[in-house]
Amino acid sequence: MRGTEADWVRQALPTSGSLAGMRRAIRRFDAALLAVLTAGCASSVTRVDGVFQHRRHGYAIAAPADAWRQVKVDHATLAFARGDAESMSLKSRCGRPVARAELMARHLLIRLKPRDVIASRPIQVAGRSGWLQVVDTAVEGRPVRLKTVTLVVGDCSFDWVLASSGNFESAEAEFDAWWQSLRLDAADQGEGNA
């Protein structure tokens, strides 16, 4: 993540104020955070029977729970929002060299201040090595929790991001079910872990 992209995340986090102000802040938060963390190819994703498929990147992923509405965000592969305080997204990109999942995950947090890393550890994603992070941050005293999941396979990287200034635990369960539904096409992705 470049410094200017991290600045967009910081500036877009929800701020305190009226309900209308909060909605505007969340829309800015959704748009900026998702644009930063989900640069990808939205036009390459198709939905068939509740499953999103990205044939060029060689994966399929289930639609999240019904409460999440799909939102259109420039450069987002997939993005969803629930209410005014929660968003989740997936960025997939292929065709250029990438580092290991742990390093790619850390790039998501560059210049995000303040931040308190609650968890940062390896996990399994679609049977491969990935990296998970949970981070608390705040804007004007309003707490925001982020959860990221990063996977690197060959020359492809996948970043899932959950951002919540609402009921994180409820959103987290649905987010986890969503990213865990990923299925890779071995023919397109290769057999090895990266």
- Which tens digit of pLDDT belongs to each residue from 92-130? 988 887 899 999 999 989 988 899 999 999 999 999 999
Residues 6+ apart with CB under 8 A from 2: none
* pLDDT tops 50 at residue 189: no
* pLDDT tops 50 at residue 16: no
Percent of the chain exceeding pLDDT 70 equals: 71
Is residue 194 in some structural domain? Answer: no
Is residue 164 in some structural domain? Answer: yes
Residue scoring higher pLDDT (84 or 27) = 84
Is residue 193 in some structural domain? Answer: no
pLDDT in tens, 21-30: 444 545 555 5
Q: 129: domain CATH number? A: 3.40.1000.10
Give the total number of structural domains in the chain: 1
Domain that holds residue 53: 3-187
Is residue 192 in some structural domain? Answer: no
